[in-house]
Amino acid sequence: MQKTIYLDNAATTAVRPEVLDAMMPFFTEWYGNPSSVHEFGALCNVACDKAREQVAKVINADPKDIYFTSGGTESDNWALKSAALAKKEKGKHIITTKIEHHAVMETCEFLERQGYEVTYLDVDDQGLVDPGALEKAIRPDTIIISVMYANNEIGTVQPIREIGRIARSHGILFHTDAVQAFGHIPIDVNEDNIDLMSASGHKIHGPKGVGFLYMKKGVKLPPFMNGGHHERGRRAGTLNVPGIVGMGKAAEIASGEMSKNAKHLSGLRDRLISGLSEAIPYTKLNGHPTKRLPGNVNMSFRFVEGESLLMLVDEKGVSASTGSACASGSLDPSHVLLAIGLPHEIAHGSLRFSLSEENTEEEMDYTVKVVKEVVERLRSMSPLYEDMLNGVA
């Protein structure tokens, strides 16, 4: 049996047919610029405002506080760089964590080169930030706290409400990168005390290249993109109308199906976790056992190398992902896996399987079978594994 099973939905998802249907007329028929005053423009403007309402509803936000962007990366850059610029008279200290996505991490590193100071908080061995440690890290010159809602590699969901409460009680801006959480788990920007939140369309069966930044009323950050009066003067650039319409539709569907999908996905997730753990010795689940995204499985397989495992399971029709090589192609292990305390060699032998509601129990069982076969094959060639069996290691 040779199938192709896509288990890399944290990287990106398939656009749903309903989403594509909603987008198509904005390429071919109603291709106006929403800034134009004629009917074409007005129609597009109305469509973007509808999308604004659709995404706002998912997080209990006022639609006026939604600013469309080109995706999660831009939203993260905007939030952090503009907050740093706007608050530099108050201070130059930023608090974030050691497990953020590169879009936050590298923006913080950029700001360090501009003279800002960044505290990168540790996480525990399941990837959780300690709110007490976060509060202790706050200084009089702290201007922004950025903690991701849920981790893209290990799926751990942070105590965001508590972190937001701490930030607010100290009068510090709170940003969360919710790219992996939006549309998958409930978010309420008011209850969660969120000032700034990044989200992206392509993680929820919407199109790539579109996202938004939620900016709470009263939080007046300067624009990141200059050049026009779009998005109420906060984000210049002609609106990506089909993308925005698609993201709105995808958000509406994701929200309507959230509890049904979460139930289905967490069932599949737990089946895959227990299947792999039972079938293959010397495996470890990474991330929190319960405070984790419904569709995330991240496992380490000792005595194997993640890249080889990834390629060999791909040959057998299972598309997963490894955090062990960063985008630059270097073989540094994932900063997230190191932050939860995995030794380099175990971090290197890790795979992430990120599921979608399209996946089935049969696919999970097939994945277990394939991963078991490949791990056994790779271990049979590993001198370290042999040493361990012979009691040398």
Instruction: Indicate the Cα dihedral angle 5, 9, 11, 13, nearest 10°.
Output: 100
* Residue 172, token pair as written in the block: 């510090």
Active site residue 44: no
Closest CA to 210 of 373, 26, 3: 26
Region of 43-51, 126-134, 165-173, 177-185 interacting with ligand PLP (CB under 6 A): 177-185
Annotated catalytic residue within 44, 48, 108, 326: 326
Please report whether residue 156 would count as binding ligand PLP according to CB under 6 A: no
Task: Between 180 and 334, name the residue whose CB sits nearer to ligand PLP.
Answer: 180
116, 96 Cβ separation under 8 angstroms: no
Closest CA to 146 of 200, 201, 187, 107: 107
Task: Between 12 and 33, name the residue whose CB sits nearer to ligand PLP.
Answer: 12
Q: How many residues bind ligand PLP (CB under 6 A)?
A: 13
d(CA 53, CA 287): 34
Please report whether residue 155 would count as binding ligand PLP according to CB under 6 A: no
Please report whether residue 101 would count as binding ligand PLP according to CB under 6 A: yes
Region of 65-73, 89-97, 323-331, 380-388 interacting with ligand PLP (CB under 6 A): 65-73
d(CA 364, CA 350): 17
Please report whether residue 321 would count as binding ligand PLP according to CB under 6 A: no
Alpha helices in 149-240 (DSSP H): 160-169, 230-233
Task: Between 275 and 306, name the residue whose CB sits nearer to ligand PLP.
Answer: 306
Which residue type, as a one-letter code, is found at position 122? D
Please give the residues from 180 up to 219 whose contact with ligand PLP meets the rule CB under 6 A. Answer: 180, 200, 211
Min dist. Cβ of residue 148 to ligand PLP (A): 6
Region of 44-52, 138-146, 175-183, 222-230 interacting with ligand PLP (CB under 6 A): 175-183
Task: Between 45 and 73, name the residue whose CB sits nearer to ligand PLP.
Answer: 73
Please report whether residue 356 would count as binding ligand PLP according to CB under 6 A: no
d(CA 228, CA 389): 66
Task: Print burial letters for 312-331: b (CB count within 10 Å at least 16), e (below 16).
Answer: bbeebbbebbbbbbeeeeee
d(CA 221, CA 199): 17
Please report whether residue 179 would count as binding ligand PLP according to CB under 6 A: yes
Q: Of 80, 103, 105, 241, which lies in the binding site for ligand PLP, with binding defined by CB under 6 A?
A: 103
Task: Between 37 and 327, name the residue whose CB sits nearer to ligand PLP.
Answer: 327
Q: Of 32, 34, 71, 206, which lies in the binding site for ligand PLP, with binding defined by CB under 6 A?
A: 71
d(CA 353, CA 7): 5
Angle between helix axes 241-256 and 258-279 (nearest 10 degrees) is 80
3 state SS of 348: helix
Task: Between 102 and 165, name the residue whose CB sits nearer to ligand PLP.
Answer: 102
Please report whether residue 81 would count as binding ligand PLP according to CB under 6 A: no
Please report whether residue 43 would count as binding ligand PLP according to CB under 6 A: no
d(CA 378, CA 36): 60
Min dist. Cβ of residue 279 to ligand PLP (A): 29
3 state SS of 4: coil
365, 5 Cβ separation under 8 angstroms: no
Q: Which residue is nearest to ligand PLP (CB)?
A: 72
3 state SS of 17: helix
Q: Say which DSSP state 309 is in.
A: H
3 state SS of 347: helix
Min dist. Cβ of residue 207 to ligand PLP (A): 10
Please give the residues from 125 up to 154 whose contact with ligand PLP meets the rule CB under 6 A. Answer: 148, 152
Name the site residues for ligand PLP (rule: CB under 6 A). 71-73, 76, 101, 103, 148, 152, 177, 179-180, 200, 211
Catalytic residues, by residue number, are: 326
